[in-house]
Structure 1
């Protein structure tokens, strides 16, 4: 077992470098229905086996004509054509158009043989089985040719694309019903602490509701992972050892909140030291909030597993999730890390920060004549810190003061 660090804190950049160097997820594939493919990452190039459209069709409601028949048509001097039929979308005309004839046609309907243009209905005047054409047409006008949208044999979607609604529409147009995608990581979630109970249970003195399982579960879904909540663990060494050993290899990432510091009842470091064949990454990061985070990796054959143990305080857990765990989920899915939107804002008050630690200071935004930001001063244990936050400032390790009125970059949560 190679132990990188044990409660010898590393910088955020050092942690990210270790993860980049050591973590090597093996891509996993699955075949799914197109109806389940939204926000999945496609694992193959999609080549169209058909032309779209597969037939020459009308771009407009109007009349299919031979363009040469309309060359002399003018607003005040229309030409007259005999209407020999009608075509609705989804049907076709069995006959062939001859000189002096027209067929009424709907948008999207196949153009009849012999026709080479469509006169928009706005430029026509129907009179029983005849139609007056008030505007000349040119060959190909208002006609959509075969393969204009998608040509047979062309690549319509490239491997590695994150599929959106528009992509699925394209796939439906070329009759793709199933496709191969990169599987999302399976992530197991535990919360730890004798004080925790699940929502729906009666709250008694000394107990609090488990927040982290909900926020982490939704954060995993937001990042494209597949979460499973495994329950709340009591602060019991043997119980923790048992459930960790039972679940570590069942999931791509095992995520546990609580049990990271050196306080009473926090047994995680003891258990991790006992795990065989484990690359022990970190116990302690120079970050605020989230210093006592533990990250470890397990090599299994040609696969890789992650054990991530986050602080129990809600803001700490979510900060570490966004900075370190979410990028791992994106990496597993063969995607680059998510880029969050930022805005410039003027600080309403001075902010102090601890030298040597990278701080992610939560802020609220105020939209006045210009955007202003004010730091939230409740602690990482506070529930309302999360609820009242619009985003955060990244304060680097060598910065201790941000002055009132200073313009700063705010990373937005939404």
Structure 2
């Protein structure tokens, strides 16, 4: 039976329903204080001792009676007899009399008869006596018993998260063990016939199970105990048995996948049948994450998260994390947030709250949020994002330059030192890895095509653009485009050459000889995205072919199978040919080699870098340019098929 989301619920309402319905009575357990960091106190702690437990010296010097030092100065020092010395750890209580003092170490117990300590810097020892050049006041440089913590004082309350300071306090009070709240035990079940485990052979139509490892990592970050319930087939009995077992041994269960309104989804039916309190959430008014379902059984929640990794992780943060914090009494607080200006206009999600991933680009005095428009299944895109912005249901659009709040996935220190936008290139990855190994500089690469990279540099959104743009009029690479974007000629830095060509199946089963075969009716082509250097090269070559045979370019492109099919990377082109979805496509030789394809060379192109004038003096940019010319990178470059250093 097909399930329809009749009423989409807000995040706030769903969260409230869950927290009102779940049990919050996790058991306690006793742990040694060496293992207590990060745990939550189950009972308030009342001190059984004073801290410090005795009057002790806070400085190295001499324990004195302050009244003996009246009038002491540099000109008229007071001489006292040194009766004995006291070190930290001495257990004998000794006494001084008027006219005497005791040499004393920091932390040592004060002798009877002394009320203060004069610092050693204001003294000069001469034989059995010491000359003292300044007076003291009662209690000076002395920590009195109980001045830090008094016996009977409540020092740590139930629900306190134990960190280094709290553990140190427990240790100082002599506690070797402490009662803490047991970590919530969360069962994790993945569903889907399309899933295979890491390390298994990836057949066509199958995908690796990304949700189980990523949600497990998220649970560990929340310090939950994770119980794997395995990976279920899309079969009612298999899912039902695993969910029931999870509810028996766990505090909560997470089911990943099988929650959308598709005909074959059965998680909804399982939860209706297994959970005695029924389904309390079915569909959220958010993007991504609409197909979310939550049910309760004897106060234990079952979270049905969407199968797409981006959706699953976003909803985990909004729904599952608050549950864990509530039952464990551990409020981690909000993550780091910063303000940034949008790099472009964003049209909202039509009545749904939208969690939109963004890149964050640090500029002088402000930040830029660069939206990432990707599907809910794009886990690689999410991994590269720095954070996300929340666009509420009542917002129709956000204009370019609008200041927004970015919820960072990590702290601000993790943001990239160097931002590179432009054309996708495998050698650039080698270059940046060499840069990191050499200088520790962290880089962010945003593949938006050569023209997009040039525009980003012109708008001061990127430090560097990677480009390979052929001007059909001059037949030169890159230089003319730099001028068109109003950038100084010295912004262009020569990079390296790479061999472009036609990727075809091993053995060339379609007998393809050149790009002109794209005109054959039985040939399917896979193109690159508009704005990329490879697309400009492809369009230029096809125009020349059309001119040679008297065809109209625009009309011809409409007839070519796949010409409007745009792949965003060289690897995507190679994958399409390798999997038989296309017969030919243009890309670099290294991508063809990775997929075991045959390759018909077209010619070398120049892949160069355009440096933002505002970023030229940045240390990260200078290190990048130095690494580009380094012997280490040149050795790495030559390991890639079809690459060599530019000779221009």
Q: Which residue number in structure 1 is paired with residue 206 of structure 2?
A: 207
1:221-262 deviation line (CA, Å, top 9, x unaligned): 222322223322222332222212222221111111111123
Are residues 1:413 and 2:412 paired?
no
Q: Which residue number in structure 1 is paired with residue 394 of structure 2?
A: 398
- Inter-partner Cα distance in structure 2 for 1:227 and 1:290: 23
User: Normalized against structure 2, the TM-score is what?
Assistant: 0.60
**Correspondences of 1:317-356 after superposition (within 5 Å):** 317-336=312-331, 338-356=333-351
Q: Which runs of 5 or more structure 1 residues have no equivalent in the other structure? A: none
Contact preservation (8 Å) 1:39, 1:163: yes
Q: Which has the higher contact order (CA 8 A, sep 6+)?
A: 1
- 1:21 to partner: Cα distance: 3.8
Q: Which residue number in structure 2 is paired with residue 281 of structure 1?
A: 280
Q: Which runs of 5 or more structure 2 residues have no equivalent in the other structure? A: 411-648
1:362 to 357, 363, 378: 357
Change (3 A) 1:329 1:61: same
- Inter-partner Cα distance in structure 1 for 2:169 and 2:97: 37
Q: Which residue number in structure 1 is paired with residue 378 of structure 2?
A: 382
RMSD, aligned CA: 2.0
1:82-130 deviation line (CA, Å, top 9, x unaligned): 2221111011455421222221110000011122221111011122322
In terms of Rg, which structure is larger? 2
**Correspondences of 1:112-191 after superposition (within 5 Å):** 112-191=111-190
Q: Which residue number in structure 2 is paired with residue 50 of structure 1?
A: 49
- Structure 1 residue ranges (4+ consecutive) displaced by more than 4 angstroms after TM superposition: none
- 1:403 to partner: Cα distance: 1.0
User: Normalized against structure 1, the TM-score is what?
Assistant: 0.92
- Inter-partner Cα distance in structure 2 for 1:223 and 1:26: 18
- 1:354 to partner: Cα distance: 2.1
- Inter-partner Cα distance in structure 2 for 1:97 and 1:36: 44
Q: Which residue number in structure 2 is paired with residue 10 of structure 1?
A: 8
Q: Which residue number in structure 2 is paired with residue 250 of structure 1?
A: 249
- Inter-partner Cα distance in structure 2 for 1:241 and 1:180: 36
- Inter-partner Cα distance in structure 1 for 2:371 and 2:165: 40
The secondary structure found in structure 2 opposite 1:41 is coil
Q: Which residue number in structure 1 is paired with residue 441 of structure 2?
A: none
- Inter-partner Cα distance in structure 2 for 1:189 and 1:61: 58
- Inter-partner Cα distance in structure 2 for 1:148 and 1:276: 55
Q: Aligned residue pairs: how many?
A: 406
- Inter-partner Cα distance in structure 2 for 1:288 and 1:146: 59
Contact preservation (8 Å) 1:9, 1:282: no
The secondary structure found in structure 1 opposite 2:248 is coil
1:16-68 deviation line (CA, Å, top 9, x unaligned): 34224433433432222222222222122211111111111101001112222
- Inter-partner Cα distance in structure 1 for 2:151 and 2:30: 23
Contact preservation (8 Å) 2:5, 2:261: no
Q: Which residue number in structure 2 is paired with residue 29 of structure 1?
A: 28
Contact preservation (8 Å) 1:327, 1:337: no
1:338-391 deviation line (CA, Å, top 9, x unaligned): 323322211110111221211111111111131111110121111222212121
**Correspondences of 1:23-102 after superposition (within 5 Å):** 23-102=22-101
